[in-house]
Amino acid sequence: MADIEALLSLEQIDRDIFRGIHAPSILARTFGGQVAGQALRSAIETVPAQMQVHSLHGYFLRPGNPDADTVFLVDRIRDGRSFCTRRVNGVQNGEAIFSMSASFQITGQEGIEHADEMPPAPAPESVPSPREDPNASEESRGLIQEWNTWDIRIVSQDVTEPYQRRASHQQVWFKHIGRLPDDQNIHTSALAYMSDMTLLTSARVGHPGVDTQVASLDHAMWFLRPFRADEWLLYDQTSPSAGEGRALTAGRIFALDGTLVAVVIQEGLHRFRE
């Protein structure tokens, strides 16, 4: 996989048209986080520097070709004094594969403040890295093969403290390997990229040994506070419901100091294989 900075760099074709590169991949279709991260980066290129993204809502419309670049068409829906909105369509071979709306807010606004506390979790260094663990699962080995510029550590269910009255719970520590620039937009786009990683599979925690066909359908994300993607982040994941061949999943992302930095909601296919 290409370095995240290279993967998020865009070629500007016209005022609001950008091309995102593809990267070598073992996946049969374009990784959804790649499309989301590049789409967000395209939107960022069209907003004033004092604006920061606070939310995005995306739909995965068609499987992307992992061996082809994606062109992103940005619509400037609204430019206000405090907020602005962009709509982005990701296109391959003349067809939309992804559609996203993103909202941006001017920084420095004041209001009420509160946040959930980070749940109990083992320290990231205490979780075996699949790079060094001879007993790492096939899923974990696949993660380091596809996302080799990231340190990704899935917390064992044996040491995960389950939530009461929650059907499914999974925790994942991750960070980018190597220092990234201080530009918050790089870290935000990188987190949008990684937010698609492992979230849907959290729905299988309550169904050990069951193999399902998995694909992202829609993806919503809220960016709450500044963070760095090259420092440890805890992805605390649950799946409130699964049925009709779909699963709903939710994730809260915390910095190592316990700060809640982002929330993700995603729905995806979870159908029995034929």
Helix or strand holding residue 248 (H, E) = strand 246-255
CA distances from 120 to 117, 125, 259 (A): 9, 15, 13
Count of Cβ atoms closer than 10 Å to residue 239 Cβ? 26
Count of Cβ atoms closer than 10 Å to residue 74 Cβ? 23
The per-residue b/e assignment along 260-270, b for 16 or more CB within 10 angstroms, e otherwise, is bbbbbbbbbeb
Helix or strand holding residue 204 (H, E) = none
DSSP state of 107: S
Distance separating alpha carbons of residues 42 and 175, to the nearest angstrom: 23
Is 266 one of the catalytic residues?
yes
Helix or strand holding residue 222 (H, E) = strand 212-223
By C-alpha distance, which of 86, 79, 76, 81 is closest to 53? Answer: 86
Of the listed 151, 196, 230, 236, which one is catalytic?
196
Of the listed 140, 189, 195, 216, which one is catalytic?
216
Distance separating alpha carbons of residues 46 and 16, to the nearest angstrom: 7
Is 140 one of the catalytic residues?
no
Is 196 one of the catalytic residues?
yes
Give the ranges where 131-231 is alpha helix by DSSP (H). Answer: 138-146, 184-194
Distance separating alpha carbons of residues 204 and 215, to the nearest angstrom: 13
Q: Are 85 and 103 in contact (CB under 8 A)?
A: yes
Of the listed 38, 140, 189, 266, which one is catalytic?
266
DSSP letters spanning 16-33: TEEEEPP---SSSS--HH
The two structure tokens encoding residue 47: 């907003």
Q: Catalytic positions, please?
A: 196, 216, 266
